[in-house]
Structure 1
């Protein structure tokens, strides 16, 4: 579904060139829930921004659903972002003047494609994520967890190939975080969604099928979840300690 091959990205700061991504390879299969973890400065957010083509990359290849994303026109990239990618951000990015249901429908409103199928899917998502009772309320009137579940539903309204989630539980308490992760799992199990999530939260990552650990712009380890959530969480914590050099 998503293939990233030998991805390089650097930034110029004054006269100095800083390499952020140094040949990253990763794949995300259809229906997978994959997390990317790593310390600050490891390249997590840069990786996500390159995949979404919000920033250009220096070298490498990104393929989404069989389509290469390099050298596309801005119009073509905008179409990919709106129709083939869904986005979930740490700060929700909901519009205060729209109701919860209207926020979910926003990508279709922008595309002038709010038809009967879209309306039906919005209502299905409201029910699936347990936010049907607040569909007429505005973002300021609901909790952070409900706002983030709304953002997840909005990301799914165009049936994207992949959802890119950037620290989706970063502003939430543990109960709300778990509700959002459950929403992702529901989306995968009942809608066939595919999710790539950048996170600092090892607990949230432990519910994923795989976790890719980044260090200094390279893939340090690709970890598969083959046991229980608790066992995988323990393994994650141990690998993170080893990655940071703290093996005590």
Structure 2
């Protein structure tokens, strides 16, 4: 569904060029939940920004839902972002002057499709994520976990192929983090969405099907969870993940 091949990205500062991504290869299958982890400076955010079409890259290909993103003009990229991608950010990015239900409807408003069908889906998402009781409240009046679940619901209004989540549990306590991860699970199992999540949180990552570790702009390792790990061996997967992170951190750059 998502294929990234030989992706290279560098930044220029004065006369110096800094290579941030150095030939990244990865994929995300239909209805797969994948996390990317790595130390600061490993290229996680740059990778997410390349996939989301917000920054250009020098070499490689990114293919989403059978469509290659290289070479698309700004209108084409905007169409991809509006129709095939959903976004969830660490800081929620909700509009304070809108109710939670109205915030969920924002992508439909942007596309000019805030119709009865969109309103029905918004109500279904409120129920699916257990936040129907805050539909008429404003962001300042609800908890961080409720705000983030609303952000996940908003990302799904246009029924995207892939959700890109940037540290979605970074500002939340463990209980709220769990509720947000469960929202992603519901998006995947009940709506058929794939999720690609950048995180520092090994607890959140332990719910994923696969965790990709980045180090110095390359894929250091990829850990796959055991089948059924959410029901019994999620803790074991988290232990494996923490061991791999410790090993990666102990190696010289």
Query: In which range does the TM-score fall when normalised by the shorter chain?
Result: over 0.9
1:14 to partner: Cα distance: 1.4
2:103 paired with 1:103:
yes
CA drift of 1:120 comes to 1.3
Question: TM-score normalized by structure 2?
Answer: 0.96
| Structure 2 residues not aligned, in runs of 5+ | none
State the aligned residue count: 246
Question: Which residue is equivalent to 2:184?
Answer: 184
Is 2:115 the partner of 1:115?
yes
The separation in 1 between residues aligned to 2:101 and 2:85, in whole angstroms, is 20
Task: Encode CA deviations 1:99-145: one digit per residue, 9 max, x unaligned.
Answer: 10000010001111022221111111000101000000111111110
Supply the distance in 1 between the matched residues of 2:207 and 2:151 (Cα, whole angstroms): 19
Paired residue for 1:151? 151
Residue in structure 2 matched with residue 234 of structure 1 by the alignment: 239
RMSD (Å) for aligned C-alpha atoms: 0.8
- Measure, in 2, the Cα distance between the counterparts of 1:28 and 1:161: 11
TM-score (norm 1): 0.98
Mind listing any 5+ residue stretches in structure 1 that lack a counterpart?
none
* 1:189-248 alpha-carbon deviations (Å, 9 max, x no partner): 1111100000000110000000000000000011100142111000000000000117xx
- Runs of 4+ with >4 A deviation: none
Distance 1:45 1:166 in 2: 8
User: In structure 1, what is the equivalent of residue 94 of structure 2?
Assistant: 94
Query: What secondary structure is seen at the aligned counterpart in 1 of 2:55?
Result: coil
